[in-house]
Amino acid sequence: MFISHIQESTKQIQSVAEHSYNTAKYAVDRCYINELKDLVYLACVLHDAGKNTEDFADYIKKASENNTSVRKGDVVHSTAGGCIITKLISESTGRTKEFVAELIRHAIISHHGMCDCITPDGVVTFYRRAEREKNLSAIEKEVYSYLPKEELNKRIEKACIEINELLKRIVSITKRDERLGDKYFYYGLVERLLLSLLVDADRTDTACFMDIKTLPQAMDNDKIQALWQELVNNLEVKISEIKTDKPIDIYRQEISECCKLAANEKSGIFRLIVPTGAGKTISSLRYALNHAMLYSKRRIIYVAPYNSILEQNANVIRKMIGDKNLVLEHHCNIVIEEDGESQRYKELTENWDSPIIATSAVQFLETLFSSKMSSVRRMHTLINSVIIIDEIQFIPVKCISLFNLAMNYLTEICNTSVVLCSATQPLLDKLPSNRLIEPKDMVIDSEKYSAYFRRVKIIDDTNYVAGGFKINYLAEYIAEKIKNVQNLLVIVNTKSCAKDLYINLCSITSNFDDNDKPLMYHLSTNMCARHRKKTLDKIIKNLKQKDRKIICVSTSLIEAGVDISFETVVRSLAGLDNIIQAAGRCNRNNEYKQGNVYIVKIADENISRLKDIKKAQDAMNSVLHILHESPELIENDLLSKKAMDYYYTYYFINRMSEMDYNIPEYDTTIVDLLSKNKIGYNNLVRSSSNPPNILLKQAFKTAGDCFNVIEDKDMIDIVVECDRRSKRLINEMNSNITLGQQIRILRQLQIYSVSISGSMKNNLERQNALYQLKNGGIIALRKEYYSLETGVTDIPAKMDPYHY
């Protein structure tokens, strides 16, 4: 009996055989794709075969005694299992068997760190690793003592039959329409799913053994069904309590009923197109719970682009289902105060083992494409689930092809249902390649609701000043507007523009009579999350009181999903999707007879480095040209579906070459690296007179390493002091504390962090405004460089007494 793990306190031994069987059972129980079960079993029972050696036994014993002569990873154990499956399959013939071997061995060699099948320079990772494998005969003999060879061969035969069926389903997607993507990309997602199940099962069994816990059982269908039924009942009670005094409430109810009806449809991709303020959070939740109940889905995953939307709507979900403990919120602003709860939260966010997940678009996309093992581990939780993607228009252009193909795979192969929510749906199913399968509309006649929810008029003032407004003139323009309305929101494209405009407006309005002097607010990501939330709470409170005029100057962070309403909105020229989202913050609940949204052009707004905004402006200018020259083409209405379709046509036509996620350093794309990997395979062919004929050519690690949802190469995070709590935490981090205390404080400091550019960092360093904390490698900002109005500043701010 060879050793897999040694428990630290009791020194109890877990054998390789026990761990292998436990891992296989755990993974197979959570594999809700029947055609993968035997493949999963084989990968799991063989994944640690390389531990069946004296070298590893010696290593693990020394490691358990904290012997400094050994380091983690000194003895590689993640190749032998792949060698065994390759040898077993080489004893018979068949292309399917070879593919089964490729899938299993790649999962095994990657279970402690993602690997490329073929690297960009043409190296087949498995063969390179297999050359260094020693003692294979002895390892085989030991493996066959607890895994009879005959049983493995039977499993291989079953796996081949099952994989053939799965491949037919994949090929049927691409045969239906070649524009739905390359079959090799989908093969790659099969591999990632297999690896996800293996990694989660391996880590869970290891953690349970080391913590002396029982391996958790998967919730059976009867229990999950009963849970969904209970939550549906809770939701229906809450919905029945919603007032329907106004016509707008009745229309929201109608939309909600449409979504409930759509829950009867079988799994697929759905589209919820409703105007802003139409109640899509509750309506989509109603669909998800009813659909999950009817089709025995394992979990519901709600995805939002910004943490502000996520936090707000996660709270709505908790309130509507009546059980806050069932919702796992996973994003960077979560703070867990107690150490025990913190460890539990860490475990849950690693495997998403919760009925309802509320997570960010960054976490969701990383789950599908990042090379980080924590991301890979979560991927299998997307099987047989309901996924709600809120504000779908915010998927980055570079990620569009990857997103489309992943959604096709999840819905066609994994029995998952996906709901795309937005008032401004991009034409993802109309692209010339790598397009989304055409979604089913949950609300059939959605345009009629656009008329019912028509609360605003959009006014084009981009030519109000030739060449666009200077900041001081824009401030005067806004100051005149506030004289005739109670409150006004200004949304601009850059943080520097927001700050400059705010300062100019403060100066102008300071000369107003006391009765007319507005409360002034500023919002941007130069403010930490805690500061932004406090400011937003104050704005909402003062808007409800209606006793003072209000001006808020914000970047785009306020315009999507934030439940807030102003009488008038001024929006700097951007994409039509942004403008319509901004309009969603105007007269949201029909409080006013009519709300006005003014589009303005700002000459002083520097967007030279903001390619997405510049391209969106160009497309929007084309739509504005139609509005003035041929208004009938868009029904003389910027809020019409035709206007939105024209906008996305103009916007996408100039960005097709970006949608596969370009990787300039390799002169390729992530889509290609995750499908045929032409660069890697061509280099392999050049360097070998007899290159191996393999189906899995993907460069998974290279693609995953290059994948970033947000480009932040020049950005660094700093912590700021903006209230008493942040001051205390910074002081604690600067004192003599244990590693455990450091981790706890770091989590709490997340809501006091701000990402700054390299140039801002350089400016602050020149003024000695940044300093390194004693622990955690954290950079902190001196308090005089944090304004309680506008956040981080490279000019010392006048610090008011703490008032949060």
pLDDT the model gives residue 351: 64
- Alpha-carbon distances, residue 712 vs 177, 331, 740 (angstroms): 36, 17, 29
Q: Name every residue whose Cβ is closer than 8 Å to that of residue 344 and which is 6 or more positions away in sequence.
A: none
pLDDT given at position 423: 87
Phi, psi dihedrals of residue 669, rounded to the nearest 5°: -130, 160
| Contact present, 61 and 6 (Cβ < 8 Å) | yes
Residue type, 260: K
Nearest to 370 by CA among 754, 76, 361: 361
> Tens digit of pLDDT for each residue in 120-152?
999 999 999 998 888 899 999 999 999 999 999
What's the pLDDT at 347? 56
Strands 550-554 and 487-491, by their bridges, are parallel
Question: What per-residue confidence (pLDDT) applies to 689?
Answer: 82
Write the burial class of residue 579 (CB in 10 Å: 0-12 exposed, 13-18 middle, 19+ buried): buried
Alpha carbon distance 594, 388 (integer Å): 32
Residue 409 CA to residue 187 CA, distance in Å, equals 10
CA distance 442 to 257: 10
The predicted pLDDT at position 346 comes to 56
User: Are the beta carbons of 640 and 450 closer than 8 angstroms?
Assistant: yes
Residue 703 in contact with residue 765, Cβ under 8 Å?
A: no
| Whole-prediction pTM | 0.91
Domains defined along the chain, listed by start? 3-210 (no CATH), 233-447 (3.40.50.300), 455-638 (3.40.50.300), 716-792 (no CATH)
Cβ 235 vs Cβ 289: under 8 Å: yes
B/e letters for 597-634, b = 16+ CB within 10 Å, e = fewer, are bbbbbbebbebeeeebbebbbebbeebbebbeeeeeeb
What secondary structure does DSSP assign to 429-451, as a single string? GG-SSSPPPPPEESSTTHHHHHH
With a cut of 70, which residues of the chain have pLDDT below it? 67-69, 73, 331-351, 712-713, 798-804
Question: Token digits for 375?
Answer: 């991301």
Question: Which pLDDT does position 124 carry in this prediction?
Answer: 96
In this structure, the number of other CB atoms found within 10 A of the CB of residue 657 comes to 8
Neighbours of 571 (CB within 10 A): 26
Q: Which residue bears the tokens 């004289």?
A: 483
CB 217 within 8 A of CB 208: no
Q: What's the alpha-carbon Rg for the chain, to the nearest Å?
A: 28
Report pLDDT for 580: 93
| Residue 504 burial (C-beta neighbours within 10 Å; 0-12, 13-18, 19+) | buried
- CB neighbourhood size of 50 (10 A): 28
Strand positions, DSSP E, 689-747: 716-719
Residue pLDDT, tens place only, 512-549:
998 889 999 999 999 999 999 999 999 999 999 988 99
Closest CA to 316 of 286, 350, 346, 271: 286
Distance CA 214, CA 208 (A): 6
- What pLDDT is attached to residue 156? 96
